[in-house]
Amino acid sequence: MNNDDDVINLYCLHVSNHILRNRSIIIKNNQRIKKNSEKGDFCEIRDQGFTRPQVLIVLPMRNAACRVVNVLLDLLASDSNFIVRNKKRFFEDFHEKVDHAGEKPADYNFLFDGNKDDCFLFGISLRRKSLTLYANCYKSDIIIASPLGIRTATARKADGSFKADYDFLSSIEILVLDLSDVYLMQNWAHVKILFECVNQLPKETRETDFSRIKHYFLNNLATKYRQTLIFSRFITPEINNLFNRVDNYAGKIKLIPHYPEGSICHVVNRVQQIFRRFSCEDHTCLSDQRFSLFINEAFIYF
């Protein structure tokens, strides 16, 4: 589907609402547990994961991360008493002035305006009255990263095993992959590594209160309860494969927009269109054979 500002606003609103509601539930349950302990009663409450981060937003470049953070600030920092920590540092690292000399298409400006660096990973800690950028990953509610940033943090060792430090992805409840088609122009292998690391059982406990962990985390069924949102401008076999790998207990849905007829249907003078079929035994050579057919045979029709 088209990735415009409305889509970013929508999933940012959904993410912030999810975190704030969960935080309210945990605070109320803390009070309930304290009150019952004073009475000597025991009540089983399951409202947490292995680690604190609940949301992972994957973006291809820093300019996209800057847009998402701006939307979060617009949604949450409307109150003058709201505190934003490390804001100056963030915009120094992620914002970049753009020279608009020369006209460029709208999709080019959307993708490449601003900072185009594709390696980053940072955490956001969210409270009702404050937001902290560059929070420690294990003390964050939202992780915003690029596929390369995740790959760097979870790089394989020489023996083929992963580093131990990707436990912060063990309790992700919402996974957002925005501009998925751009990952194809970077390195799709990083996306595969990302899915191998998310919602895995952690290597260390990290002061985890196991009495309050949700059962599906303990049973290693987190992927079936995780909400995965994939946004792309077009469908490819790789993105379809990613969609098919999502195995959620509540099912899944794919939305493909239908566009009106293109301008070629309204050309006054008829344009001759010629379609030529050719055989190809090896799909890896498809592009080369198509180009060879074009330069060797296409011009005989004109």
Same domain, 109 and 203: yes
What's the pLDDT tens digit per position in 155-175?
A: 755 565 555 578 899 999 999
The better pLDDT of the pair 46, 98 is held by 46
With a pLDDT cut of 90, the percent of the chain lying above it is 50
Note whether 61 and 25 are same-domain residues: yes
Give 44-98 as a DSSP string: ----B-SSS--EEEE-SSHHHHHHHHHHHHHHHTTSTT-EEETHHHHHHHH----
pTM of the model: 0.82
Same domain, 165 and 283: no
**Domain membership flag for residue 102:** yes
Looking at the structure, tell me whether residues 111 and 42 fall in a common domain: yes
Residue 105 belongs to a domain with what CATH number?
A: 3.40.50.300
Is the model's pLDDT at 58 over the cut of 70?
A: yes
Q: Say what percent of the chain tops pLDDT 70.
A: 88
| 85 and 213 inside one domain | yes
Q: Which letter does DSSP use for residue 14 in this model?
A: H
- Give the confidence band of 37 by pLDDT, cuts at 50, 70, 90: confident
Q: Could you tell me if 66 and 200 lie in one domain?
A: yes
Q: How many CA atoms lie within 13 A of 278 on its CB side?
A: 16
**Do 58 and 177 have their domain in common?**
yes
Q: Is residue 255 part of a domain?
A: no
Q: Confirm if 173 and 226 have CB atoms less than 8 A apart.
A: yes
My answer on whether 282 and 234 are in the same domain is no
Q: What is the mean pLDDT of residues 180-203?
A: 91
Asked whether residue 225 is assigned to any structural domain, the reply reads yes
Domain assignment of residue 40, given as a range: 5-245
DSSP H stretches of helix in the chain: 5-39, 62-76, 87-94, 106-112, 147-153, 180-183, 188-197, 215-218, 222-225, 237-245, 286-297
Residue 25 tokens read as 């539930």
Query: Looking at 52-56, 157-161, 220-224, 236-240, which range is the least confident one?
Result: 157-161
Task: Give a yes or no: residue 163 inside a domain.
Answer: yes
Q: What is the dihedral of CA 26, 31, 35, 38, to 10 degrees?
A: 90
| Cβ-based neighbour number of residue 215 at 10 Å | 9
- 190-211: average pLDDT: 89
Instruction: Please state the rounded mean pLDDT for residues 131-141.
Output: 93
